[in-house]
């Protein structure tokens, strides 16, 4: 069965640089979610989109932005990267009101 695809899987950036993470949801899923998981922590919700409209917003820094495109894929744009942004970033997708299926994550390292 098709799963959530995230790219890249690993990303290394310098402080103050910009990063773009991509997510391709499971086919026919209409909702995409982004989570950030720091070392030894539980995943923290950033933002979600339902039918290409922002549906919920968590503790997402102003330096981050995201959108969902007409083909339902989503991108998380991160600017002015800080050391504290180093984390595992998960994308998840779901069909309305159903369980969320997670991608493998993008490991971002900021040096």
Residues lying near other proteins in the complex (CB under 8 A) are found at: 31, 33, 35, 37, 42-43, 45, 48-50, 55-56, 58, 88, 90, 92, 96-97, 99-102, 104-105
| CB of 43 vs other proteins, minimal distance in Å | 6
Q: How far apart are CA 63 and CA 18, in angstroms?
A: 10
| CB of 91 vs other proteins, minimal distance in Å | 11
Q: How far apart are CA 55 and CA 49, in angstroms?
A: 5
User: Residue 85 or residue 106: which is nearer to other proteins going by CB?
Assistant: 106
Best CA proximity match to 35, nearest among 63, 8, 56: 56
| CB of 58 vs other proteins, minimal distance in Å | 6
User: Residue 71 or residue 97: which is nearer to other proteins going by CB?
Assistant: 97
User: Residue 43 or residue 81: which is nearer to other proteins going by CB?
Assistant: 43
Q: How far apart are CA 53 and CA 82, in angstroms?
A: 28
Strand duo 10-13 + 106-110: pairing: parallel
User: Residue 12 or residue 15: which is nearer to other proteins going by CB?
Assistant: 12
Q: How far is CA 82 from CA 58, 75, 99, in A?
A: 19, 19, 32
| CB of 9 vs other proteins, minimal distance in Å | 11
């Amino acid at each position: 069965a098709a799963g959530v695809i995230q790219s890249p899987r690993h990303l290394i950036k310098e402080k103050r640089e910009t990063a773009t993470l991509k997510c391709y949801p499971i086919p026919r899923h209409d909702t995409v979610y982004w989570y950030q998981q720091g070392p030894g922590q539980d995943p923290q919700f950033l933002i979600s989109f339902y039918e290409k409209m922002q549906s919920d917003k968590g503790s997402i820094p102003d330096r981050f932005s995201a959108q969902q495109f007409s083909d339902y894929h989503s991108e998380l744009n991160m600017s002015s990267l800080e050391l504290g942004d180093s984390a595992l970033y998960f994308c998840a997708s779901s069909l309305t009101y159903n369980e969320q299926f997670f991608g493998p994550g993008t490991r971002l390292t900021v040096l």
